[in-house]
Amino acid sequence: MQDFLELAVGAAASGCVYGLLALAYLLMIRPTGIINFAVGEWAMVAAFGGFLLLSKLEWPYPLGMAAVLGFMLLVGWATERIAVRPLVARGAPLIAPILALLGMLVIFREIVSISFPPDPHPVPYAFGIGRLDFGLLGGSYQSFFIIGVTLLVFAATWLFFERTLAGRMFEAVALHRRAAALMGINLFRVTALSFAGGAGAAGLAGLLVSPNISAHYQMGVPLAIQGFTALVIGGVGRVEGALLGGLLLAFAEQLTVRYAPIPSGFAQGVPLLFLMVFLLVRPTGLLKARA
């Protein structure tokens, strides 16, 4: 039991990172139907942003974090303008922007791999290294920071969709693109904002996880897969699903590493196994969209 509780906070923090990545997918997929696998590269770009501003230039953490997130919103917006809008405006099928975004994924990664040496780049912790204990539950400062920030982001996103007119407009586009356009909702603006939001969520995930794994130009793809798996587990219908999926995946991963009698290298296959099982058995995810 002690053993499990020791694991719990760290697993919850990983789950939060996966949840943020799943949220990034969800923000884009809901209104547009576009699966954007570049979320992993966005997380990577933000991690390098953290390296530059926080490690090299030694900006104060809140300022550096705000700058990185602001930059990511811009990156998401620009990605939509370059790789999505020109195709959608010409009436291309949905597969076209999805493929164009895979191209963007390579572009992001290669820009970073050319610009930085190939070794891992350190990114500092938000509150330094330290350990916090609440009774039996204990974990690093960073784990608690990740959990706190993620809960805030999910609460804000939930409020946005449930309580604001702009959120209703996003949902309306998700339900019926054509009817939403007839209401006077600007579909292009919703799409651009959903990509900006997606890049913001993915970038946040990258920045939060980077102190643990260091910024590296190849860090994107595993994050993209873990986030996508979390999304498939939770379902694309609801914001809470992304967090639930992320947490379930992280606990499954950590518990297998800890207790299953397999070499730890195989644990990397756990998300893929989950992905296959869920796609076969329950492709709509755990949480259903409200009908």
Partner 1 sequence: MLQLENLTASYGAAPVLQGVSLHVDEGETVALLGPNGAGKSTLLAALTGTIARRGGKILFENKNLAEMPSHEIVQHGVALVPEGRLVFAPFSVADNLRLGAVRLKGGARALRERYDHVFTLFPRLAERRAQAAGTLSGGEQQMLAIGRALMSAPRLLLLDEPFLGLAPLIVIEIRNSLRKLRAAGLSLLMVEQKLDIALDFAQRAYVLIKGRVVLADSTQNIARRADLSELYFALATSSPSAESTA
Q: Which residues bind partner 1 (CB under 8 A)?
A: 91, 165, 168-169, 171-172, 175-176, 178-188, 289-291
Q: HSE (CB half, 13 Å, CA atoms) of 231?
A: 23
Q: Is the dihedral of CA 61, 64, 68, 71 positive or negative?
A: positive
In angstroms, what is the minimal distance from the CB of 187 to partner 1?
A: 8
Residue 161 or 217 having the CB closest to partner 1: 161
Please, which residues bridge with residue 133 across strands? 138
* Residue found by looking up tokens 């099982």 in the block: 277
Backbone torsions φ then ψ of 123, nearest 5 degrees: -125, 135
Under the phi-then-psi rule, with left for phi > 0, alpha for psi from -120 to 50, and beta for the rest, what region is 36?
A: beta
In angstroms, what is the minimal distance from the CB of 178 to partner 1?
A: 5
Q: Measured between alpha carbons, how far is 27 from 96 in angstroms, rounded to an integer?
A: 19
Q: HSE (CB half, 13 Å, CA atoms) of 51?
A: 23
In angstroms, what is the minimal distance from the CB of 30 to partner 1?
A: 13
Residue 73 or 92 having the CB closest to partner 1: 92
Please, which residues bridge with residue 138 across strands? 133
In angstroms, what is the minimal distance from the CB of 88 to partner 1?
A: 12
In angstroms, what is the minimal distance from the CB of 288 to partner 1?
A: 11
Residue 184 or 261 having the CB closest to partner 1: 184
In angstroms, what is the minimal distance from the CB of 47 to partner 1?
A: 37
Residue 280 or 291 having the CB closest to partner 1: 291
Are the C-beta atoms of 254 and 11 separated by less than 8 Å?
yes
Residue 93 or 135 having the CB closest to partner 1: 93
In angstroms, what is the minimal distance from the CB of 164 to partner 1?
A: 11
Q: Measured between alpha carbons, how far is 201 from 205 in angstroms, rounded to an integer?
A: 6
Residue 1 or 290 having the CB closest to partner 1: 290
Residue 71 or 160 having the CB closest to partner 1: 160
Distances (CA, A) of 220 to 18, 106, 116, 166: 12, 10, 15, 31
Distances (CA, A) of 252 to 31, 234, 249: 30, 14, 5
